[in-house]
Amino acid sequence: MAIDAATVRRVAHLARIKTPEDRLEPLAAELNGILNWIEQLNEVDVDGVEPMTSNVHQPLRLRDDVVTDGARVDAVLSNAPKSADGFFVVPKVVE
Amino acid sequence: MTDNTKTIQGRTGPWELVMGLEIHAQVASRAKLFSGAAVGFGAGPNEQVSLVDAGFPGMLPVLNKFCVEQAVRTGLGLNAKINNRSQFDRKNYFYPDLPTGYQISQLFYPIVGEGVVEVEAEDGSFFNVGIERLHLEQDAGKLIHDLSPTESYVDLNRAGTALMEIVSRPDIRSPEEAVAYVKKIRTILIYLGTCDGDMEKGNLRADVNVSVCHPGQYEKFKATGDFSHLGTRCEIKNVNSFRFISQAINYEARRQIEILEDGGKVDQETRLYDPTAGETRSMRSKEEAMDYRYFPDPDLLPLELEQAWIDGIKASLPELPDDKRRRLMADYGLSQYDAVVLISEQAKADYFEAAAQGNGTGRRDAKLVANWVTNELSARLAADGKDFSECPLPAAHVAELVELIENGTISSKIAKEVFDHVWSGEGSPSEVVEKHGLKQVTDTGAIEKAVDEIIAANPDKAAAVAEKPQAIGWFVGQVMKATGGKANPAAVNDILKAKLGL
């Protein structure tokens, strides 16, 4: 799997990570290095082996349908660059 | 099964429609899918938001067991396969209503697999719609655009609310079928109590995938399962009323036909229906083509369900609409039409059954009860904007009214008047009949007296009846008028015939 500069640009855009043009080629080389390294895993035959999701088999933790949270508008908005009347305020977005 | 396929005549020939629907149904639960914040409508901005919903660093989602139960219950109600093992994935995209930058959904291993829904078409025939899957996912927040000319306001109260996405197979062939399918799903969800079905609040909404093809292509697709026989589809997002579903499909089909007939190509894209303009519009520019980069959510282990738990839910299912329809037809001898009208609302069917069981005086004429419930009573409730669960009239009153008609105490015509009084709270039908003196006159002496008087006053008309027997209708009307509508119509007819020598 070879990553080129165009792919890096696209992935960076999708992830909203600002990447200067002169960094695209070096990043592509670094990512290819990582991917090639990971590709060694393909040498292992995992046919019929269940993917491991945790080192100890345990069920997904579930919660009862009870309201235990909310009514903390100040905390929710505490990181907002801008807010008003309990709302987050962002630059206009209209589809 | 009759063919309800819609054909649209284009300039170059006929076209057919093919549709598949994705219905988003909000799970009826108290708390959100992965947090303990409340689900609901009407709270102040961001009051029903936990730090999980707001996407704060380090917050971990914990799955709501009841939402899982609701999804399983719905799957069982859709005759679908429940997957004992499912998994949650992240669907990545950036939008201000999605604070985490990803929606937790189930792409690869949904909780519910294939099923089938029986839907009644307008002409009374049935068609089946295949269900491809049902999965659990989070809803997004809400953007408000009209509070500022240059900014959007974000309310995350809805963010993280559990949704069931129900994906159908492309088995739907006309706008009418699409509407009938959504209505059926809505009815099933309400019966199951897994979604309140409130479309005005957006608690049930549909994405409609529309494509067009030449006649014959759909059959090739059905035979081979090869989608290349079908046209390119466009997805119309978030249509939230039955009327708009139908309008959006009609517009979109014509738009695609025009493109194709002009020698163009339909682009696979997401579109929005604008009810004001009556058209669909492209939602996202092509350069922004979505790549959601799905991957399993590392915060959540696979969801494993024990068969015994699923069986327990199955055992607790209420009677579903189709079973109820069959039972009402078999037990009460109702027509399919009446049964379908009654089951459309669970409370309406319950009301009918209570009334048909009678008021301690034995079963009543089911057909008559069904007529009163589906006509007069439904109309009154609709006029007051109520449904049967809020019906102010006890079912026993309808039973009593029908009993009075059955035993000849009142005529069906007078029954309407009795109903008016009962509806306005004047008491039970018997009390109303007593109070207003509405008992049917079966005393032949009184009727004979009225008949004699009318014949005596109208000798020319009486003579004419011999020539034209239909003219008896005029006499019946006069007698009814003279007796205040209370005379037994059959008795009036018999006496008139005898006196007029017919």
* Of B324, B340, B143, B318, nearest in space to B238 by CA: B143
Which pLDDT belongs to residue B462? 82
**Which is higher by pLDDT, A35 or B283?**
A35
- What mean pLDDT is predicted for residues B63-83? 98
Nearest CA in chain B to A85: B45
Spatial CB neighbours of B311, under 8 Å, sequence gap ≥ 6 = none
Neighbours of B436 (CB within 10 A): 14
Tell me the nearest-neighbour CA distance from B45 into chain A, angstroms: 5
Range B318-328 average pLDDT: 95
Determine the distance in angstroms separating the CA of A34 from the nearest CA of chain B, rounded to an integer: 18
Per-residue pLDDT tens digits for B184-217: 999 999 999 999 999 999 999 999 999 999 999 9
Answer for the pair B280, B248: CB distance below 8 angstroms, yes or no.
Answer: yes
The beta-carbon neighbor of B46 closest among A53, A73, A94 is A73
Q: Which of B66, B100, B106, B151 should be substituted to probe chain A, the one whose Cβ sees the most A Cβ atoms within 10 Å?
A: B151
Beta pairing class for B270-274 and B234-239: parallel
Q: How far is A92 from chain B (nearest CA, A)?
A: 4
**What's the whole-number average pLDDT of chain B?**
91
Q: Does residue B159 sit at the A interface (CB-CB below 8 Å)?
A: no
Q: Which residue has the tokens 């990545």?
A: B92
Q: Tens digits of per-residue pLDDT, B328-345?
A: 999 999 999 999 999 999
Task: Tell me which residue in A60, A66, A68 faces B300 most closely, judged by beta carbons.
Answer: A60
Asked if residues B21 and B209 have their Cβ atoms less than 8 Å apart, the reply is yes
C-alpha distances (whole Å) from B227 to each of B139, B211, B212, B219 are: 30, 11, 12, 11
The answer to whether the Cβ–Cβ distance between A61 and B147 falls below 8 Å is no
- Candidates B46, B67, B295, partner chain A, best to mutate (most A CBs within 10 A): B46
Class of domain B444-500: mainly alpha
Confidence at A95, pLDDT banded by 50, 70, 90: low
For chain A, what is the radius of gyration of the CA atoms?
22
Interface pTM (ipTM) of the complex? 0.90
Do the Cβ atoms of B332 and B364 come closer than 8 Å? Answer: no
CA distance B42 to B166: 26
pLDDT at B2 over 80: no
pLDDT band, very low/low/confident/very high, at A86 (cuts 50, 70, 90): very high
Candidates A16, A77, A85, A88, partner chain B, best to mutate (most B CBs within 10 A): A88
Which residues from A are below 8 Å from B when comparing CB atoms?
10, 14-16, 53-54, 58-73, 75-77, 79, 82, 84-95
Query: Can you tell me the distance from the alpha carbon of B245 to that of B256, in angstroms, rounded to the nearest whole number?
Result: 16
A-proximal residues of B, 53-72, CB under 8 Å: 54, 56, 62-68
Nearest by Cα to B296 from A57, A60, A64, A14? A60
Interface contact flag, A70 B38, Cβ < 8 Å = yes
Quote the pLDDT of residue B108: 94
Q: Which 8-state DSSP code applies to residue B48?
A: S
pLDDT value for B50: 97
With CA atoms as reference, the chain A residue closest to B57 would be: A79
Secondary structure of chain A as H, E, C letters: CCCCHHHHHHHHHHCCCCCCHHHHHHHHHHHHHHHHHHHHHHHCCCCCCCCCCCCCCCCCCEECCCCCECCCHHHHCCCCCCEECCEEEEECCCC
Q: How far is A76 from chain B (nearest CA, A)?
A: 6
Contacts of B49 in chain A (CB under 8 A): 70, 72-73, 76
What is d(CA B1, CA B121) in angstroms, rounded to the nearest whole number? 10
Q: What is the pLDDT of residues B367-423, one digit of tens each?
A: 999 999 999 999 999 999 998 999 999 999 999 999 988 888 888 888 999 999 999
Whether B45 and A95 lie within 8 Å, measured CB to CB: no
In which residue are the tokens 């007529």 written? B371
User: What distance in Å separates the CA atoms of residue B310 and residue B87, rounded to the nearest whole number?
Assistant: 17
The 10 Å Cβ neighbour count of residue B310 is 18
- Domain ranges across chain B: 24-205+284-314, 321-436, 444-500
Mean pLDDT value across residues B7-21: 94
Distances in whole angstroms, Cα of residue B49 to Cα of each of A74, A79, B142 = 11, 14, 12
Asked if A76 contacts B99 with a C-beta cutoff of 8 angstroms, the reply is no
Pairing mode, strands B63-64 and B14-26? unpaired
> Using one digit for the tens of pLDDT, what is the confidence trace for B243-258?
999 999 999 999 999 9
Pairing of strands B102-105, B89-92: antiparallel
Say if the Cβ atoms of A95 and B30 lie within 8 Å.
Answer: no
Write down the pLDDT at residue B1.
Answer: 41
Computed on alpha carbons and rounded to an integer, the radius of gyration of chain B in Å comes to: 30
- The pLDDT score that the predictor gives to residue B463 is 82
Is the torsion defined by CA of B391, B395, B397, B401 positive or negative?
Answer: positive
Cβ of B36 within 8 Å of Cβ of A66? The answer is yes
Report chain B residues whose CB lies below 8 A from the CB of A50.
none
Q: Which has more pLDDT, B299 or A1?
A: B299
Would you state the structure tokens that stand for residue B501, as one six-digit string?
């020598």
pLDDT over 50 at B287, yes or no:
no
Portion of chain B with pLDDT greater than 90, in percent: 70
Pairing relation of β-strands B162-168 and B14-26? antiparallel
pLDDT of residue B16: 96
What are the distances in angstroms from CA B447 to CA B407, B409, B475, B481? 19, 16, 12, 11
Q: B189: closest CA among B44, B94, B75, B54?
A: B75
